[in-house]
Amino acid sequence: MHAAIRVATLAVAAAPVAFAHDGGHVHGFVAGLAHPWLGIDHLLAMAATGAIAMRQSGGARLATPTMFLIGILLGSFAAVPIAGGEAAVALSVVALGVLLASAATAPAGIVMGLALVAGAVHGNVHIAELPPAVGASAWTAGFICASAALHALGALVAVALVRAGAQRGLRWSGGGLAAAGLVLTATRI
């Protein structure tokens, strides 16, 4: 399982290079695909969602990240931007971090509801920031694909830590995510 951690680390490190913006002229699908890898708030929230999903049982393991992706889609097509959206994105990192740090597994409905709301906030905030020339539908499709990849990456890391007997490390990671989210929130209020 150590190989999975190395592959996941390499993927995170290589992604910004592979999907880097070309001086701001990348539009549509590729820009949406790059965005979650380049924004720390997105990267943390989406990887946390994948890790949290692995703490669930049965169908909730797949439903949790799916709800996040549905939230992105719903938030992307909302006609009105969320007031204080950037702070809400940072607060989603705090909430997901706290959930991951918790020793108890939250009920599936709460976890999926949080994933849906977090996804909607992420989708809404970033679709509202797009320049008019960017294809919103293509951008959203790229954003959703990259988000799914980050969910899978978070799930892989969580499984690797649990198999290595490092459940405490997974909880500490959640605490670190919550702290990072608080710092991000403070910079956006």
Any idea where the domains of the chain sit in the sequence? Answer: 2-188
User: What's the sign of the alpha-carbon dihedral 124, 116, 96, 142?
Assistant: negative
What pLDDT was estimated at residue 127? 83
What pLDDT was estimated at residue 132? 73
The three-state (H, E, C) secondary structure of 63-124, written as one string: HHHHHHHHHHHHHHCCCCCCCCHHHHHHHHHHHHHHHHHCCCCCCHHHHHHHHHHHHHHHHH
For the whole model, what pTM was predicted? Answer: 0.83
pLDDT along the chain (189 residues), means of 10: 48 44 59 90 95 94 97 88 92 96 90 97 87 80 95 95 90 94 92
157 closest CA partner among 144, 173, 141, 145: 173
Q: In terms of C-beta density within 10 A (0-12 exposed, 13-18 middle, 19 or more buried), how is residue 22 classed?
A: exposed
